[in-house]
Amino acid sequence: MTPDTALVPPGTPAPDRRAVVRTSPLAPGSAADPLWYKDAVVYQLHVRTFADGNGDGIGDFAGLIARLGYIRRLGANAIWLLPFYESPLKDDGYDIAHYERIDPRYGTMDDFKRFLAEAHRLGLQVFTELIINHTSTAHPWFQASRRAPVGSPKRNYYVWSDSDRRYLGARVIFNDIEPSNWTWDPVAKAYYWHRFFHHQPDLNFDNPRVRRAVFKVMRFWLDLGVDGLRLDAIAHLYEREGTSCENLPETHEFLRAIRTEMDRRYAHRVLLAEVDQPPPIARTYFGAGAGDECHMAFQFPLMPRLFLALKREDAGPIVSIVKETDHLPESAQWAIFLRNHDELTISALTPEDRQLMFDLYAPEPRMRLNLGIRRRMAPLLDNDPSRMALAFSLLLSLPGSPVIYYGDEIGMGDNIWLNDRDGVRTPMQWTGTAGAGFSESDQPLTLPVIDDLIYGASTVNVEQQESDPSSMLWRVRRMVAARARSQAFGRGTIDFLTVTCGSVLACLRCYRDDTLLIIANLASTPQRCELMLPAEIADRTAHSLFNDDAVASAALAALSLAPFEFRWYRLVRPMAAPSSTSPASVQNSI
């Protein structure tokens, strides 16, 4: 099977990517640099819970447009929108009923176009979701399929079977809720295959019509001008007996076809893979050495280890996984994140580390979901501003493009008593008023605003933090601004330095002539340690990226760090260095 041959006439030469990039018109607002995504700081949000523009209690594009300035002021230069397509919303929009329509609860297609134009005008690139592994059972394709004659192309849009004993090697992902990957359909009188909820039947990628239909959906959104596509659940496209039905060669072949099609028609667009797999497998989604599949992939291997490291006060788990996931193809980039809209997944950890994560971060059974933890960043880090700032420092300084989950920048809380993962998807807290400034509706909102004493909107909100320069919002803004001063964060190499304390992480990030020194104390206690600085940087001056302080690099060989302290320095060669000040003046007060 060659998916691309279904779309490109036989004999068509493979397009020269560089030539295409030169000649293709850029969509309005498109970034001029083909590697723009390497410098991206992405803000992830759900239209449904971000801002309600029409007062009906549900977030919408009108509300989002009015809040774009906030995202820009945070320093983000890209947005990732969770699904906003027509949907019964049984999986918060990951159950699509129509691929080319906006769910009317969020507005119209014109509203979406206005949003896109305004985002681009402000310098925000836009990622949307391409959810092709499955649809909703409400999708007309499924409704037609269940009624179509066995063996017909329409029937074969989905994966049907007379038996629920096929593909037993595939794990059940939502194992708290679904007993099997097969569900009986009384209309079709057969079982259909689904890797997620039973109302999300998997499309059958062995059917060339499905592949063509998926290409058409992709072109529809790229033609509108979206800059990046997050490929949901992309590891699961194909099924083969005797395998785990994940990461199959056919899936990679299809991804290469998608990439070829994208590059053939569009300039500077990006594919972002959602693959929660161990490092050697995760990196295959960039393409086997050639960078010919996805430009970006989520850094799932690192994420739970960041939390392990923070709780254990030990840099080890971060250092080892970053080393294991380093040296990507030139065009590839990790999308690094702390939390997102799902449970904090720990499926990639060893059984011992999983248990440790549950014990440390999810002591109450209700905090757990499937193989994960349904909590937000602030409650996970005990609402401790120093720990949270440290977590943001790691997010913003380790290799990759950081993705900030809406609300984490103000330390929003969660509500573990809501259904499924809704507890981490509650309305954005803009003000301390009843609807949190999210909505003026006096009807129940799409999800209830957090209202407990610690994390409730009257305590945690944007308005209050705007006026407090020491707030989490301002600290994150200052870090993002500091990050924007060097491309080494997004594009640089990383080299860990030897430190005498296990709780201190120190590394050099280098890009072209620019060298940064990043130091972080993961411990809740002060640390005195020694740092082995390479000889070639010993004569440099370390300039803080957070303020005007400077110190001779050599002075950093003996370090005293406050609990959770972190420092970001640019190491400047002697020629360019202004007169250095004493070590005592270095204050990385962020």
Active site residues: 232, 274
CB of 232 to ligand NOJ, least distance (A): 5
CA distance 113 to 468: 35
At closest approach, how far in Å is the CB of 124 from ligand NOJ?
21
Backbone dihedral angles phi then psi of residue 488, each to the nearest 5 degrees:
-65, -25
Question: By the 8 A CB rule, do 81 and 485 touch?
Answer: no
Look at residues 346, 345, 417, 344 and name the one whose alpha carbon lies nearest to residue 376: 344
CA distance 463 to 436: 10
The pair of three-digit structure tokens given for residue 56, joined into one six-digit string = 């009906």
Instruction: Find the shortest distance in angstroms from Cβ 376 to ligand NOJ.
Output: 15
Residue with tokens 């060893």: 350
Strand partners for 496: 507
Q: Please, which residue, 45 or 571, has the CB nearer to ligand NOJ?
A: 45
Q: How far is the CB of 87 from ligand NOJ (least distance, A)?
A: 11
Angle at 3 between CA 2 and CA 4, to 5 degrees: 95
Q: Which residue is nearest to ligand NOJ (CB)?
A: 94
Give CA–CA dist 474/74, Å, rounded. Answer: 8
Please say whether the beta carbons of 261 and 4 come within 8 A: yes
Give 90 or 113: the residue with its C-beta nearer to ligand NOJ.
90
Q: Which is nearer to ligand NOJ, 92 or 314 (CB)?
A: 92
Nearest CB to ligand NOJ, comparing residues 7 and 258: 258
Amino acid (1-letter code) at residue 210: V
240-259 exposure pattern, b = at least 16 Cβ within 10 A, e = fewer:
eeeeebbbbeebbbbbbbbb
Q: Which is nearer to ligand NOJ, 191 or 196 (CB)?
A: 196
Residue with Cβ nearer ligand NOJ (131 or 349)? 131
* Whole-angstrom distance, CA of residue 574 vs CA of residue 475: 31
CA angle 299, 303, 308 (to 5 degrees): 150
CA-CA distance, 112 to 102, in Å (whole number)?
Answer: 8
- Smallest gap from Cβ 76 to ligand NOJ, in A, equals 20
Least distance in Å: CB of 387 to ligand NOJ? 26
**Chain positions contacting ligand NOJ, by CB under 6 A:** 91, 94, 131, 196, 232-233, 274, 341-342
What single-letter DSSP state applies at residue 581? -
User: Min. distance of Cβ 233 from ligand NOJ in angstroms?
Assistant: 5
- Single out the residue of 67, 64, 43, 76 nearest to residue 113, CA to CA: 64
For ligand NOJ, the closer of residues 233 and 258 by Cβ is 233
Instruction: Answer whether 97's CB lies under 8 Å from 143's CB.
Output: no
Whole-angstrom Cα distance, residue 250 to residue 206? 9
Cα 245 to chain centroid distance, Å, stands at 24
* Amino acid at residue number 435: G
